Structure 1
């Protein structure tokens, strides 16, 4: 039993420090993406800045300086959009 205790402890530490925070981050992003509404300013994962002009179940249409783009909801990142609001 004492031989397996260090391995068990390493496994528990790995779960606490790696897996749980990643799950929290994914849940936060999913909640953010589902709460997007018309008028929100966003930055896509690819770095495109725009304003949400239309919302459907799986896609968004964002208005940029060069026109309108249809993108998937998952292409909008929490970190980038929060950085935009902080400016």
Structure 2
């Protein structure tokens, strides 16, 4: 019994460390990202995953309308396509 426990203990410790190093930070990052998506507001300036910077003009269920560029081009993108919020709107 002690031999089995002695052989399995390093494996259990390595799996525990792997969980602490990989899964916990990833879950924390996902929660923070989902909170950012839920907090999106009209007039927030966002950066998309494709590198496009623009202002949100409309928010639908799972899509946002982003206005960008000097010609005020409007793009309909998925909320998951937003990488980060650059500046939040001042209006509440």
Normalized against structure 1, the TM-score is what? Answer: 0.88
Larger Rg: 2
What runs of 5+ residues in structure 2 fail to find an aligned partner? 88-92
Q: Counterparts of 1:44-83 in structure 2 under 5 Å?
A: 44-65=48-69, 66=71, 67-78=73-84, 81=85
Aligned length: 81
- More helix per residue: 1 or 2? 1
Normalized against structure 2, the TM-score is what? Answer: 0.84
Q: Deviations over 1:38-82 (max 9, x none)?
A: 01000000000000000011000000014000000000113xx3x
**Equivalent residue for 1:17, pick from 21, 28, 32:** 21
Structure 1: which 4+ aligned runs deviate by more than 2 Å? none
**Equivalent residue for 1:27, pick from 6, 31, 49:** 31
- More strand per residue: 1 or 2? 2
